[in-house]
Structure 1
């Protein structure tokens, strides 16, 4: 970012449209830089063909500039005015922007991950429940979200990496009542890392354990992580195939041959959903089952149908997860 930008001046003049536009431009560039820096971590999101880093950056910062009502100011101004310690210098203002925008990007990416993988979403909701119940905090550190104890406001030293986290004893994840406390105790007393739990890594670990033969112990009072992924995916797939038949095949919108290709593509998607989410663009799923399918033909003829059927599958899985309070 250029050194000639007067951030404090911009924040003091946000009743002027030109100042707002300039601040939007700056926040967009910061959000885009954050996405590019963390591209490998977020790359799965961009497999969905309609998403680009630019569009995600715009979506991430938009809530900062949307008024809730005519009486209220811009959310980013509220954040600026309530920031502690108070912002007094250009460096303070730049630090504030980087922190607030990184948080917005992380929130938006988390939302997109939840949309992609309903099982991830369910476990993330469960972990968030435990965080709130236990009085823990979530903080950002170098573009990642971590759970920390309430006595910490920031991470001050090296955190546990993915490889080390994956090697933690499975017994730590067995009892939901002691889940977070047990992991904190292990990291703090048996490793040299700062006592912080990587949020997404924890969710993925719990999801993998749920899908394996190892199951987390049940407790009547605890929010549950357990679910039968095979059964839920089957229900979602059945719902999508039924919609395919009723809305497209029987009405002559797709031939029987085309419908069979869609069924096979949906089956492939269902398997990937069970294993962690969609892993390819939608075109690639259908292209496996329609010979010489051109991308422009797919976009014009099939994309909206396949996207809708995938949505039906995911929504059915979400509904079943909610109904059973799994």
Structure 2
């Protein structure tokens, strides 16, 4: 009786990459990303850890110890002593108008240099981009003198000038951020198909209708990414508010930590709690807009 041999089961071919080669494993890239993430998260984690410890525990055991109780007393004391509720409102009065005006004006300029064919579009884009190469501190003295000698009615400004007003800080923040946003938005708008605006032009849509009804809705991912960055940039700005605003009750939250400084010694646990409180709004905004932020950065990276 003959025995029929069972067919041999061949081993499944291993997954290969392009051209039959094995997929490349980016161990070095992952290692670099892990190291960079640790470098960014370590100071924040150390600040939170220090803020959760009473000053008595760190004085007794040292800052590089794990002993002692953990509570939120430093956060409560920093909030009450630093007056963060008032300073957060001041920061909102500066940040929100600055971001909205920056995105609006930069979108207008980006549309003009990317979607409209005229003689000076490249020249203006270069000028707007070159403005970011100038250090802001170089213009500190001229801007201060200009705002100081610009007379305004006292019902508009209690100082009679643009100094000690939110308008001065909003104007300067907007002016210095427009160049960067124009550069990013112009590149984003160039990637959009020209058939969209050509079809709208055939249907009788004017320039403003093309900008507002066609291009602006398509730029939402870019606006989300830029809006997140601009909130972080302007919210964390310390230089311009401190230069133009003299009244302590109008300063933004970045200056509230000064209220936690002692005359003869400093409670670094209290300062760490205050610094952590100031970081919370930017973290919340980034977490809420994280998906739109990543989409705005990666959209248009590949074509086809």
Q: What's the TM-score, normalizing by structure 1?
A: 0.22
Asked which structure has the greater RCO (Cα within 8 Å, sep 6+), the reply is 2
